[in-house]
Amino acid sequence: MMSSDVDDPVGVLYRHDPEWADVTPIKQDDGLASVVSIAYSEKFKDVFDYFRAIMKSQEVSERAFKLTSDAVATCPANYSVWQYRRKLLKDLKKNLFDELEMIGNFIIEEPKNYQVWYHRRVLVEWLQDATLELSFTAEVLQDDPKNFHAWQHRQWCLNIFGLWANKGDSELEFVNNQIKEDVRNNSAWNQRYYVISNTTGFSGEILDKEISYTWYWITKAPNNESSWNYLRGILNGRRKAYLHPNLKSDCLHLISQDLKSSHLLAFLFDLIEEELDDLNDDIESNYKLELLAKAGELCNRLSDEVDPIRIKYWKYMKRRLIRKFNPNDSQNS
Amino acid sequence: MDESDENQQFYRSKHISYFKRTLNVLPEECEKLDPTRLSLAFFALSGLDLLNALDSLSPMLKEDTIKWIYHLQITLNEEESNARQCGFRGSTDISFKNMETSTPFYNGHIAMTYVALNCLLILGDDLSRVDKDGIVNGLKALQLDNGCFAATINGSEDDMRFVYCACCISTMINDWRGINKHKAIDYILSSIGYDGGISQGPELESHAGSTFCAVASLYLMGCLDTCLADKQKEILKRWLVNRQIDGFQGRPNKLQDTCYSFWVGATLKLLGLYDCIDFERQRRYLLSTQSKFVGGFAKWTNTFPDPLHSYFGICGLSLAHEFDLLELHPALNITMRAYAHLERLS
């Protein structure tokens, strides 16, 4: 479809094609004035002159279908052509599996185009068959492991068709492999959260396992934002980091190894702030002051040494902390 | 760092030429952008506006542009049979003379309606020829049950980009009948990720583009302060400031790209934390993505410029109050000058 075939060699325009002699092409009509004019190629003008003609007559035919193939090859982002093509697919009762194969090849060539992914989604919906989709998206992700469309289509298929093999274990394994391939693949970590949310949920035992899993990858790449975001995300609203038997000490241990990880220090800062939130307000205890000092020190280290690009942010965080927990102490800086 | 001053120059007149050329004629390679020509016009016009160079366009060109924009409008017909189709298209790709505005597949596109209104305001038009009832009907046809918006009828993807467009459109026509706000807000809140950023839809990966769209939408709906709890705002701010490398990236562990100086920057402005970024490093990155010879900006250094990145590069510098650029409205994405014109119309 994409390259020329024997019946329509390169160079034969529609206006020279005897098969189309009965159709009057329609030139583009910009009205009385035109801006942002494009110096279209001859092929582009020709294809769309004829596409406009069939849109006007609402022609339903094989030749019209073939014209839409040329039109989308010439301009893949033209959603109107795709819409008309879908009308023809139905009216002509075309083989949808053939179309699925076509769109698969198209997506491989144009993996960031919204229209081709949407077209595939519609086909899968019409067919009510998503059996090929996990392997298809996996293929696309091999070329670009962070392709947003691929991950979105994959989630959509899992949601609608419930392709959770072995209660989600096989999707979890897929995610695991992605993370092993590249621990910094943020899309993979997002998918992990998605899988567990939709299968086992983050219940006590699962949450413990996830904390250990994440911590393992944190030690392998201590400044990887994705794993730290995941850790904070799974704990949020479920478990207090400061109450976890090991997290605080594990963090301190990493810090003692002089690891310059901004996310590590930030995590510890958040942990301390959460503990401060839970302390009784009235208590002006030494412990509270100790925590405040520790948190402030982390802000200092972040702004001065570990995360200097965000110096203003960490100074803001420190001011905020002081205002929140020690409003009487305005001299502390 | 040994960078000559030359690399830190802002090629103002080159950018003006670049945008003027964009408004005029684009090369063959741009034919793939045909359906969204109107957005290219927006990048050029708003870019010139930010550069305070709109008056380098002749009054006739401005008038012609307004004419062309209105030519792209699909208005409500007498029978009101085409209510769902109303709005603006991005180009005359499937238009023909004397066509009925109820012609099948001849539908408005929500993002093109948004940029059409932006362009008209920038050019000082009074919007009197805008079919506001038509637009409201068009919007109603595009909102889904879960609160999200599709781009056009007859089959389209739906995501946060179009929620944003819907909110901007409603703001500009000063008519919110086209949006069920409660549902839209629900959709936005359900798209907040575990990492505090916001995605195109529930459970998808957080992204700076969709985060901007979500926050700007809440702002325009007047509920940014009430809809997000303090804790949510703080974790969102953290997610946003973490996007800065020199320039900004769209997601954790992705490459920086010129346009994110706007998506992230404008969101930080709306949340009141813009001043916390590193201005120096952002400036260096943005200026390094300029094209010294043809003008414009590219997504990366040593890459070919394009209208989108040229525009958002200028936006990034405007947010940082650099180079005497006009001030940008961080939610609507037009200059405050154009916004003032909108306010005078109301």
pLDDT digits (tens, 9 = 90+) for A128-137: 999 999 999 9
Of B204, B238, B275, the CB nearest to A312: B275
Task: Please write the tens of the pLDDT for every residue from A113-157.
Answer: 999 999 999 999 999 999 999 999 999 999 999 999 999 999 999
pLDDT category, B2, cuts 50, 70, 90? Answer: very low
Asked whether the beta carbons of residue B251 and residue A51 sit closer than 8 angstroms, the reply is no
Task: Indicate the DSSP class of residue A85.
Answer: H
pLDDT for A244 equals 95
Instruction: Find residue B335's DSSP bridge partners.
Output: B328
Instruction: Find residue B87's DSSP bridge partners.
Output: B74
Mean pLDDT on B331-345: 98
Decide if pLDDT at B10 tops 90. Answer: yes
Mean pLDDT on A277-294: 84
Q: Is B155 left (phi over 0), alpha (psi -120 to 50) or beta?
A: left
Asked whether the beta carbons of residue A148 and residue B64 sit closer than 8 angstroms, the reply is no
A56 touches chain B (CB under 8 A): yes
ipTM score for this prediction = 0.96
Q: Vertex A326, ends A320 and A327: CA angle to 5°?
A: 80
pLDDT for A326 equals 76
Distance CA A133, CA A149 (A): 13
pLDDT for A21 equals 96
pLDDT for A201 equals 96
Q: Is B241 exposed, middle or buried (0-12, 13-18, 19+ CB in 10 A)?
A: buried
* Arithmetic mean of pLDDT over chain A: 93
| Of the candidates A67, A82, A159, the residue with the CA atom closest to the CA atom of residue A114 | A82
Q: Is B93 exposed, middle or buried (0-12, 13-18, 19+ CB in 10 A)?
A: buried
Asked whether the beta carbons of residue B22 and residue A51 sit closer than 8 angstroms, the reply is no
Mean pLDDT on A190-200: 97
pLDDT category, A5, cuts 50, 70, 90? Answer: very low
- B181 against A33, higher pLDDT: B181
pLDDT category, B100, cuts 50, 70, 90? Answer: confident
Contacts of B163 (CB under 8 A, 6+ apart): B147, B148, B149, B184, B187, B188, B213, B214, B217
pLDDT category, B4, cuts 50, 70, 90? Answer: low
Query: What are the contacts of A204-210 at 24+ separation with CB within 8 A?
Result: A207/A234, A207/A235, A207/A238, A207/A239, A210/A234
DSSP secondary structure, A219-232, as one string: HHSTT-HHHHHHHH
Distance CA B336, CA B203 (A): 35
The rounded percent of chain A whose pLDDT value lies above 70 is 93
Distance CA A177, CA B103 (A): 50
Mutate which of A23, A36, A234 to test chain B, going by most B C-beta atoms within 10 A? Answer: A36
Of A33, A80, A186, the CB nearest to B67: A33
Q: In terms of CA atoms, which chain A residue is nearest residue B206?
A: A190
Contacts of B247 (CB under 8 A, 6+ apart): B256, B257, B258, B260, B261, B281, B282, B285, B286, B289, B316
Decide if pLDDT at A94 tops 90. Answer: yes
pLDDT category, B313, cuts 50, 70, 90? Answer: very high
pLDDT for B133 equals 97
**How far does chain A reach from its first CA to its final CA, in angstroms?**
68
Q: Is B340 left (phi over 0), alpha (psi -120 to 50) or beta?
A: alpha
Place of tokens 């023909």: B96
Asked whether the beta carbons of residue B278 and residue A78 sit closer than 8 angstroms, the reply is no
Residues of B in contact with A28 (CB under 8 A): 92-93, 95
Task: Please write the tens of the pLDDT for every residue from A204-228.
Answer: 999 999 999 999 999 999 999 999 9
* Arithmetic mean of pLDDT over chain B: 96
| Of the candidates A323, A305, A324, A302, the residue with the CA atom closest to the CA atom of residue A313 | A302
Decide if B115 contacts B39 (C-beta within 8 A).
yes
Place of tokens 């003032």: B340
Of A48, A197, A309, the CB nearest to B281: A309
Task: Please write the tens of the pLDDT for every residue from B46-85.
Answer: 999 999 999 999 999 999 999 999 999 999 999 989 999 9
Distance CA B264, CA B270 (A): 10
Contacts of A279 (CB under 8 A, 6+ apart): A285, A287, A288, A291
Cα distances from B211 to residues A47, A231, B243, in angstroms, run 38, 21, 12
pLDDT category, A282, cuts 50, 70, 90? Answer: low
Mutate which of A35, A50, A57 to test chain B, going by most B C-beta atoms within 10 A? Answer: A35
CA distance A61 to chain B (A): 17
Asked whether the beta carbons of residue A197 and residue B44 sit closer than 8 angstroms, the reply is no
pLDDT for A172 equals 96
Distance CA B34, CA B89 (A): 11
Of A268-282, B11-25, B287-301, minimum mean pLDDT range: A268-282
pLDDT category, B5, cuts 50, 70, 90? Answer: low
Asked whether the beta carbons of residue A310 and residue B200 sit closer than 8 angstroms, the reply is no
Decide if B264 contacts B254 (C-beta within 8 A).
no
Asked whether the beta carbons of residue B195 and residue A232 sit closer than 8 angstroms, the reply is yes
**How far does chain B reach from its first CA to its final CA, in angstroms?**
51
Contacts A–B by Cβ distance under 8 A? 191
| Kind of pairing between the strands at A37-38 and B25-26 | parallel
Q: In terms of CA atoms, which chain A residue is nearest residue B71?
A: A31
pLDDT for A285 equals 84
| Of the candidates B3, B12, B8, the residue with the CA atom closest to the CA atom of residue B324 | B12
pLDDT for B297 equals 98
pLDDT for A12 equals 84
pLDDT for B1 equals 43
Of B26, B104, B277, the CB nearest to A36: B26
Q: Which amino acid is at B214?
A: A
pLDDT category, A332, cuts 50, 70, 90? Answer: very low
Of A36, A55, A118, the CB nearest to B37: A36
Q: What are the phi and psi torsion angles at B9 (to 5°)?
A: -85, 150
Residue tagged active-site, from A27, A56, A87, A112 = A112
pLDDT for A259 equals 82
Decide if B163 contacts B142 (C-beta within 8 A).
no
Q: Look at the alpha carbons of A142, A146, A148, A151 in this order and tell me if their dihedral is positive or negative.
A: positive
H or E segment and range at residue B268: helix B260-270
A236 touches chain B (CB under 8 A): yes
CA distance A168 to chain B (A): 16
pLDDT for A4 equals 46
A240 catalytically annotated? no
pLDDT category, A33, cuts 50, 70, 90? Answer: confident
Asked whether the beta carbons of residue A152 and residue B200 sit closer than 8 angstroms, the reply is yes
A226 touches chain B (CB under 8 A): yes
pLDDT for A165 equals 83
Tokens representing A295 are 């948190």
Residue A154: CB atoms within 10 A of its CB come to 25
Distance CA A225, CA A252 (A): 18
Task: Please write the tens of the pLDDT for every residue from A165-188.
Answer: 877 889 999 999 999 999 999 999
Task: Indicate the DSSP class of residue A303.
Answer: I
pLDDT for A283 equals 63
| Kind of pairing between the strands at B73-74 and B25-26 | unpaired
Establish how many alpha carbons lie within 13 A of residue A129's alpha carbon, considering only the half-sphere containing its beta carbon: 7
Cα distances from B67 to residues A31, A52, B14, B53, in angstroms, run 8, 22, 27, 21
Task: Please write the tens of the pLDDT for every residue from B16-57.
Answer: 999 999 999 999 999 999 999 999 999 999 999 999 999 999
pLDDT category, B6, cuts 50, 70, 90? Answer: low
Place of tokens 């949920």: A201
